[in-house]
């Protein structure tokens, strides 16, 4: 329970752009509720109770339960995209390693939100799903461009850039499934491990990862 509170304290900071605070509190309560019982088994009444508000108060800020899910999904995808692209580093090996480190550790830190974002896509309306898919394509394009830049510079050896992109993203996203706050590795350690494994997978020069060998 402590760890969940920690994640939601972090979320409160990350989602400070969501105004007013009551609307933000509801999003955080909804993410917590969806992660425990699933979207379909959660009612707006459950969410209101978790946020310490009346059921009617939910509808002041959100048209529906689906609207809450959409906002969680939109903010979650947008945040993970900005984490992935925050590194402005000219060297393609260092850039990709930093991006993987940040993206993987984000999925550990925000595992509850990330699970909701990834596993409840099918509950979005077609219009909302289309908006989220735009963000997902930008996430994919960001990784693909980082890999391609390394291939073009002759520092990565990747026969199937699209396939490698898929694997790198999948590896980082799935951290949200298996990560446990009480587990063996911290989010930062997972980031380091994964940056190293991904460099190996992409055939980066030995000296870029050999410090761990």
Site residues (CB under 8 A) for its own copies?
36-41, 115, 118-119, 122, 157, 159-160, 162-164, 166-167, 170-171, 173-175, 177-178, 184-185, 193-194, 196-197, 200-203, 212-213
What is the nearest approach in angstroms of its own copies to the Cβ of residue 212?
Answer: 5
Nearer to its own copies (CB atom), residue 7 or residue 196: 196
Nearer to its own copies (CB atom), residue 57 or residue 201: 201
What is the nearest approach in angstroms of its own copies to the Cβ of residue 55?
Answer: 19
What is the nearest approach in angstroms of its own copies to the Cβ of residue 164?
Answer: 7
**15 and 72 Cβ atoms separated by less than 8 Å:** no
**93 and 208 Cβ atoms separated by less than 8 Å:** yes
- Going from the C-alpha of 118 to that of each of 39, 56, 63, the distances in angstroms are 12, 28, 22
What is the nearest approach in angstroms of its own copies to the Cβ of residue 23?
Answer: 25
Which two structure tokens, joined as six digits, stand for 111?
A: 């595992």
- Going from the C-alpha of 33 to that of each of 10, 60, 74, 110, 120, the distances in angstroms are 17, 19, 17, 15, 13
Phi and psi at residue 70, in whole multiples of 5°? Answer: -60, -45
Show Cβ contacts of residue 141 under 8 Å, excluding neighbours closer than 6 positions: none
- Rg value, the chain, Cα: 19
Nearer to its own copies (CB atom), residue 16 or residue 189: 189
What is the nearest approach in angstroms of its own copies to the Cβ of residue 50?
Answer: 15
Per the rule left: phi > 0, alpha: psi between -120 and 50, beta: everything else, 54 is beta
Per the rule left: phi > 0, alpha: psi between -120 and 50, beta: everything else, 189 is alpha
Nearer to its own copies (CB atom), residue 181 or residue 203: 203
Nearer to its own copies (CB atom), residue 17 or residue 170: 170
What is the nearest approach in angstroms of its own copies to the Cβ of residue 65?
Answer: 12
Which two structure tokens, joined as six digits, stand for 108?
A: 């550990």
CA distance 98 to 36: 32
Nearer to its own copies (CB atom), residue 54 or residue 177: 177
């Amino acid at each position: 329970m402590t760890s969940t509170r920690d994640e939601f304290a972090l979320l409160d900071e990350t989602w400070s752009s969501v105004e007013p605070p009551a609307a933000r509190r509801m999003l955080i309560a909804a993410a917590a509720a969806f992660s425990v019982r699933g979207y379909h088994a959660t009612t707006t009444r459950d969410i209101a109770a978790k946020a310490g508000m009346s059921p009617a108060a939910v509808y002041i800020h959100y048209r529906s339960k689906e609207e809450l899910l959409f906002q969680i999904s939109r903010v979650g995808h947008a945040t993970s995209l900005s984490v992935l692209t925050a590194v402005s580093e000219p060297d393609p090996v260092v850039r990709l390693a930093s991006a993987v480190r940040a993206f993987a550790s984000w999925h550990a830190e925000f595992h509850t939100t990330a699970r909701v974002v990834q596993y409840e896509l099918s509950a979005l309306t077609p219009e909302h799903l289309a908006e989220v898919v735009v963000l997902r394509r930008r996430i994919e394009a960001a990784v693909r461009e980082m890999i391609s830049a390394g291939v073009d510079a002759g520092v990565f050896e990747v026969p199937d850039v699209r396939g490698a992109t898929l694997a790198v993203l999948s590896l980082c996203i799935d951290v949200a499934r298996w990560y446990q706050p009480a587990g063996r590795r911290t989010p930062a350690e997972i980031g380091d491990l994964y940056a190293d494994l991904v460099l190996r997978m992409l055939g980066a020069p030995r000296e870029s990862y050999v410090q761990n060998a």
